[in-house]
Amino acid sequence: MGEIKGGTVYDPYHGRNATWRPVGPVVDEYAHYTANSRDGYVCLGVVGDRRHWNLKNAGDHTSRSTHSTIVNGKTVSPKAGWVYAIDGRVPDPARFERWFAKQLRAGKYPHVKYWNILHRHYNRKRGWSTAVYSSDDHLHISFIPGSEHSDSSILADYERYRTGQPATPKPPATKPAQLVVDGRLGTRTITRWQQIMGTPVDGRITEPSALVKAVQRHLNAQIRAGLVVDGEGIRQDGRTYKTVRALQRYLDTEQDGIMSEPVSAVVRAVQRRLNSGKF
């Protein structure tokens, strides 16, 4: 069975290499494509070519997509570093189109943002109701921001439908263990923070830190913090940092810029937030 983990690709627009990793649904659908190629499933690609990358406002086949969508009445944008799309061919595409549209209109696969097939485009904003023209004749599926660690069984479900096999019940989702809200910025808290922010997971904050950069971007977007995205400034050492002050403002704790030791009110607030499954 095929496996896809991400890597590095040249970004011609910015003239530098860019790192990327696939969101969970891309990993799952890629695995189905590669394991079922004899049945007519062909993966055409995940990471885009030069045409995809050589744009200021790049799409979901790059790790700097600008393609936002509406989820529960709120605009959500892709996280930097993630690739949210996969292209391929499926057996009997017209039948797939009818089946998939019906599933989405019934509320299944909430992790899908939009999809194209046979020169038709369907998207979440339109409620999957009306197709408009697309240049894609193959199947393109883009997934929503927030699905970075989600599972997906679209192609597997279609294959069972197509071949008349009974549907496999989905096991209940398991929630990660709750963090102890102790105000200590330890390995478990950092690991969960990295998982939720979609950065490499090692349970450590180095300088510069990919996690801190992601937090800085998030704070700039959410509260216009005006932080320099340098990957520095989240340390529990009793010193004053601009990033900590912005974090305190975001989480509505005392704003002194200090992540006090050995326990900190802002760390407790971070832990509560992470226990809710978001930041």
- Give per-residue pLDDT as tens, 183-197: 999 999 999 999 898
Predicted TM-score (pTM) of the model is 0.63
Contact between residue 64 and residue 133 where contact means Cβ atoms under 8 Å apart: no
Contact between residue 210 and residue 200 where contact means Cβ atoms under 8 Å apart: yes
Residues 154 and 29 in one domain: yes
Q: Where residue 221 falls among pLDDT bands split at 50, 70, 90?
A: confident
Residues 43 and 130 in one domain: yes
Residues 194 and 257 in one domain: yes
Asked if the structure places residue 2 within a domain, the reply is no
Residues 105 and 230 in one domain: no
Domain that holds residue 219: 187-275
Q: For 9-36, what is each residue's pLDDT tens digit?
A: 999 999 999 999 999 999 999 999 999 9
Q: For 113-149, what is each residue's pLDDT tens digit?
A: 999 999 999 998 888 987 899 999 999 999 999 888 8
Domain endpoint, select from 129, 163, 197: 163
Residues 233 and 191 in one domain: yes
Asked if the structure places residue 239 within a domain, the reply is yes
Residue with tokens 């050589």: 54
Residue with tokens 């923070």: 193
Residues 121 and 255 in one domain: no
Whole-number percent of the chain with pLDDT over 70: 96
Q: What is the pLDDT of residue 1?
A: 37
- Helices marked H in the chain — which ranges? 24-35, 50-53, 93-105, 154-163, 187-197, 210-223, 242-251, 265-275
Residues 23 and 108 in one domain: yes
Asked if the structure places residue 174 within a domain, the reply is no
Residues 152 and 24 in one domain: yes
Asked if the structure places residue 178 within a domain, the reply is no
Residues 127 and 228 in one domain: no
Residues 18 and 149 in one domain: yes
Asked if the structure places residue 182 within a domain, the reply is no
Q: Where residue 2 falls among pLDDT bands split at 50, 70, 90?
A: very low
Residue 204's DSSP bridge partners are none
Read off the tokens for 15: 């003239």
Long-range contacts of 125-131 (CB under 8 A, 24+ apart): 125/69, 125/70, 128/101, 128/104, 129/105
Residues 29 and 140 in one domain: yes
How many domains are there within the chain?
A: 2
Residues 158 and 56 in one domain: yes
Asked if the structure places residue 180 within a domain, the reply is no
